[in-house]
A = this chain, B = another copy of it.
Amino acid sequence: MIEVEVKAHVNDFEAVEKKLDEIGAKKIKFEHQKDTYFNNPDYRDFEKTDEALRIRITTIKEKEEIILTYKGAKMDTVSKTRKEIEAKVEDSKNTGLILENLGFKPVETIEKDRTTYLFNEFIISLDEVYKVGNFVEIEKEASEGEDFKESLDKIFKIYKKLGIEDGFERRSYLELLGIYNS
């Protein structure tokens, strides 16, 4: 699966939430995400290859869901569009231990509070990322091989409707935190 995605840094969510309401976007959930990123510099240094390996623990209303995710390198120069493979797992500790025994070590854990909206076929996330800042992400799934340019155009049009015309950010949170060089 390809995740067609653009992220933008915003100062506060209030104006964005008002616009989301105006365009008829539907608030669908609020969740906490705890993301642990792994790397294996001796084998394949994700800081250089632009890949990512992550265990995400999502908490919605005290219920936990754990997802192991691989992300490929970014596929263009304007967005964060990339290959993404997700697999739900039951045990974050043992999944992490398996990765560690294979040589992939935890680099950093990033926590955020995410409010998710749905607008047509697009998912809009308002992310309060601890120690980093506030971000709005707009994304859509595409199939591998599919032309995603049209979806990207639509994403930038939605940003415009939300009053966001700059602050676009292709760097990862690990780069923004200075853990990886950007």
Please report A residues at the B interface, Cβ cutoff 8 Å. 43-44, 51, 53, 68-70, 72, 83, 85-91, 94-95, 97-98, 101-104
A106 smallest CB distance to B (angstroms): 15
Give Cα A98 to B104, complex, Å: 13
The 9 closest A-B pairs by CB, nearest first: A88-B90, A87-B94, A87-B95, A70-B98, A85-B97, A70-B101, A43-B43, A89-B89, A87-B91
Q: Is the CB of A94 within 8 A of B86?
A: yes
Contacts of A98 in B (CB 8 A): 53, 68-70, 85, 87
By a CB distance below 8 angstroms, the chain B residues around A102 are: 44, 53, 70, 102, 104
A70 CB, nearest partner CB in chain B, Å: 4
CA distance A1 to B70 in the complex (A): 26
Closest B residue to A90 by CB, please name it.
Answer: B88
Given contacts A43-B43, A44-B103, A103-B44, contact A68 B85 (CB under 8 A): no
Q: Are A68 and B53 in contact, with the CB atoms below 8 A?
A: no
Task: Report the separation of the CA atoms of residues A101 and B71 in the bound assembly, to the nearest whole angstrom.
Answer: 9
A154 to chain B, nearest CB (A): 27
In the assembled complex, 19 residue pairs joining A and B whose CB atoms fall closer than 8 Å, in A order, are A43-B103, A44-B102, A44-B103, A51-B101, A53-B98, A53-B102, A68-B95, A70-B98, A83-B101, A85-B94, A85-B98, A87-B91, A87-B94, A87-B95, A87-B97, A88-B89, A88-B91, A90-B90, A102-B104
